[in-house]
Structures are given as structure tokens and as C-alpha cells.
């Protein structure tokens, strides 16, 4: 197949390109050349900016298009409309963030998506990201009716993740010592290795799959405590996990998701990591063991420059200060429901 990838040299896009090249497909990568310009010499590279600079793509033909980096409806509309006459299929990587806060656990692809008062807004914020992604989906489906695959991942993890939102935990546990973690350890999480997502998208594209799919995992329930235990096993660090309750973290201005990655407490977010992905799983979405993702992420992170600063998670100094404050609150009392120690 001849496949055009909008992006293709960062994280998810790079995993897809690797998988597609291994499968013998012919790849064209359209991007600004700012990330990984030397990657994938066996692919065709077309330089341009998708926001107003699509001219190099005019009049060309591809069997399929993968759009990994569409955030603004106007920009996605321009790409989809330009490519529609010359492409058979368009895959758009959206997000589970299209669903509004308060969506109950177990929601599937038919749940209502979020909206925004002014759809012309183009500033990406925590409030606008999801609604704008939903509008981008609509643009793709309008330009490629019956020929569009819309993929809604949750938290994409693994090697090459530029956000460090998952990487923080394997890295921190591997460092050893006392590790601050949010309580309770039974907090449910959903994550997907970027390589698993890329491989499934490629298989869907090869088969001409269309429609909308929630795409995160694993197939069973994974908890934050199980993730941290797996990090300890893989790294062999002997780290000691200290669960700290949400009230204490809130009192000390610890931000969920950024300061404490992979954690979004509160009733409004109960469904955040509880999406029904059975539709995608039925079409062949699979998940490698979490230990493999942890080990590969650690290996990749260890190869980064020694002065790399984590983009997510607590700094060592702040974590130590929080742990001191936590222990100074007095003796712990076990929560009879979870066994977690609270102060």
C-alpha cells in the first residue's frame, strides 16, 4: 500500500511508520522536518506545514492516510478535503478526551461527545482539547464518508513518549527508596503501549476498517498499585511505595495527572479510565504484558541525556518534602475498606 502519514517522526507516528515499513508498505511522511529529520531514510519525506502549506500534497494519490497530529478543526478540514479525491481511506487519531467530564464508567463509542460554545476557538487548553478533537472527527467523517477510521486512544505510553506521564513511574521506582504514590492503590488505570496501538491501526488500515473505536487497554482491569508493583519487579529496585491520600495531596497543591501522573481522582473523572474498548478488541487490538512496556520504557529513558528533566511527576526535592510532611501527621489508621494507611 501507498500510505501518507501526516507527522510520522514522533512517538505514535514513528511506531506506525516502523511497523508499516516492516510490512513492506510504501510510506510518504509529510511534516515540517523539525522532529527526527534523519529518521526513516527509506520513506519519502515531503516538507510542509499542514496549516496553510499543503501544496506539496496536491494532485497526488495514496491508498490510505494516517493523521496523527490534528487538533484544530479548520486545519484538519483542509487536509481531509484536499486529500479526499486522491486517497481511499483516512485514519484520524482522536482521543478519549472527546467525552465530557462526568461520563460514567463503561461508556462505549456511542456516548455523547463534548461540545464547545465557540467552535472557532483554536487555542488548545484542558477545556478545549476534547471538544476540538470531536469537531476534528466530524470534519474527517464529512470528507471521507464511509472511508474514515477514527481512533480514540486513552493514555499512550511506552518508549519515545515525550510527555513522561507514564515514564515517570518506571523511572521513579527504579531509582529506589521511598516512593510517594496516591491512595488507594486499587485506583483503576487504562493505558496502551504506542506500539500496540500502531500495529492495530496498521492492520485496520490494511483491511479498510472504518468507524469509530475506543482504543486503550488492557483487556482486564489494571490498577495503579499493580503498575507500581510491576515497576518494582522489572527494575529490581526494592523501592518502598507509600500511599498518600488525595486530601493530603490537595492540601499541598499536588496536581493530579501532572505532579502525580496516571491519576485523576474525583467523581467527575470516574469514567476517565474506564472506557469500553470491546469493539476494538473484537477487531484484533491486543496488549503486550505491562512488564514488557515497563522494561522497554526504562531502557529508552536510560539512553536519554543525563540532564534530562522529567516533564511530569514530582521532583526528588518536592517528593522528599511531601513525604516528610506526610509522616509528621501522626500514626496511620488503616482504611477498613482498602487496607490503605491514612493519616
Contact between residue 243 and residue 181 where contact means Cβ atoms under 8 Å apart? yes
At residue 93, the 3 state secondary structure works out as: strand
Q: What is the pLDDT of residue 336?
A: 40
Q: What is the pLDDT of residue 36?
A: 87
Q: What is the pLDDT of residue 244?
A: 97
pTM of the model: 0.94
**Backbone dihedral angles phi then psi of residue 317, each to the nearest 5 degrees:** -65, -45
Contact between residue 271 and residue 107 where contact means Cβ atoms under 8 Å apart? yes
Q: What is the pLDDT of residue 341?
A: 40
Contact between residue 78 and residue 92 where contact means Cβ atoms under 8 Å apart? no
Cα–Cα–Cα angle for 140, 216, 185, nearest 5°? 145
CA atoms within 13 A on the CB side of 175: 13
- The residues near 12 (Cβ < 8 Å, ≥ 6 apart) are 68, 93, 153, 156, 194, 197, 198
Per-10-residue mean pLDDT of the chain, 343 residues long, equals 97 98 98 92 97 97 98 98 98 98 96 96 96 98 98 98 97 98 96 98 98 95 97 96 96 97 92 96 98 98 94 98 94 46 37
Q: What is the pLDDT of residue 340?
A: 42
- The residues near 276 (Cβ < 8 Å, ≥ 6 apart) are 106, 107, 108, 214
Secondary structure element (H or E) that encloses residue 149, with its range: strand 148-153
Quickly name the fold that domain 2-153 has: Rossmann fold (3.40.50)
Amino acid at each position: 500500500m501507498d500510505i501518507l502519514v501526516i507527522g510520522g517522526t514522533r512517538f505514535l507516528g514513528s511506531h506506525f511508520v516502523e511497523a508499516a515499513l516492516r510490512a513492506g508498505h510504501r510510506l510518504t511522511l509529510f511534516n515540517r522536518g523539525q522532529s527526527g529529520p534523519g529518521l526513516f531514510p527509506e520513506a519519502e519525506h515531503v516538507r510542509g506545514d499542514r496549516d496553510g502549506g499543503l501544496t506539496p500534497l496536491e494532485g497526488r494519490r495514496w491508498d490510505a492516510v494516517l493523521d496523527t497530529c490534528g487538533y484544530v478543526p479548520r486545519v484538519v478540514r483542509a487536509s481531509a478535503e484536499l486529500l479526499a479525491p486522491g486517497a481511499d481511506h483516512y485514519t484520524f487519531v482522536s482521543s478519549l478526551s472527546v467525552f465530557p467530564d462526568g461520563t460514567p464508567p463503561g461508556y462505549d463509542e456511542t456516548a455523547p461527545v463534548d461540545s464547545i460554545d465557540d467552535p472557532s476557538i483554536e487555542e488548545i487548553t484542558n477545556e478545549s482539547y476534547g471538544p476540538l478533537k470531536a469537531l476534528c472527527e466530524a470534519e474527517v467523517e464529512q470528507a471521507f464518508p464511509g472511508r474514515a477510521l477514527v481512533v480514540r486512544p486513552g493514555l499512550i505510553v511506552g518508549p519515545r513518549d515525550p510527555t513522561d506521564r507514564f515514564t515517570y513511574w518506571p523511572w521513579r521506582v527504579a531509582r529506589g527508596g521511598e516512593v510517594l504514590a496516591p491512595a488507594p492503590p486499587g485506583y483503576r488505570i487504562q493505558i496502551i503501549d504506542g506500539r500496540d496501538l500502531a500495529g492495530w491501526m496498521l492492520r485496520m488500515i490494511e483491511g479498510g476498517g472504518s468507524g469509530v473505536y475506543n482504543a486503550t487497554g488492557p483487556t482486564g482491569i489494571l490498577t495503579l498499585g499493580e503498575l507500581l508493583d510491576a515497576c518494582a519487579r522489572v527494575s529490581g529496585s526494592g523501592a518502598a511505595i507509600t500511599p498518600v491520600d488525595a486530601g493530603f495531596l490537595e492540601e499541598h497543591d499536588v496536581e493530579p495527572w501532572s505532579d502525580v501522573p496516571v491519576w485523576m481522582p474525583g467523581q467527575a473523572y470516574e469514567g476517565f479510565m474506564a472506557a469500553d474498548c470491546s469493539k476494538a478488541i473484537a477487531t484484533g487490538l491486543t496488549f503486550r504484558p505491562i512488564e514488557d512496556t515497563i522494561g522497554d520504557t526504562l531502557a529508552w529513558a536510560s539512553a536519554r541525556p543525563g540532564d534530562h528533566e522529567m516533564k511530569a511527576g514530582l521532583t526528588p526535592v518536592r517528593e522528599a518534602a511531601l513525604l516528610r510532611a506526610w509522616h509528621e501527621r501522626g500514626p496511620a489508621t488503616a482504611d477498613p475498606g482498602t487496607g490503605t494507611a491514612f493519616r
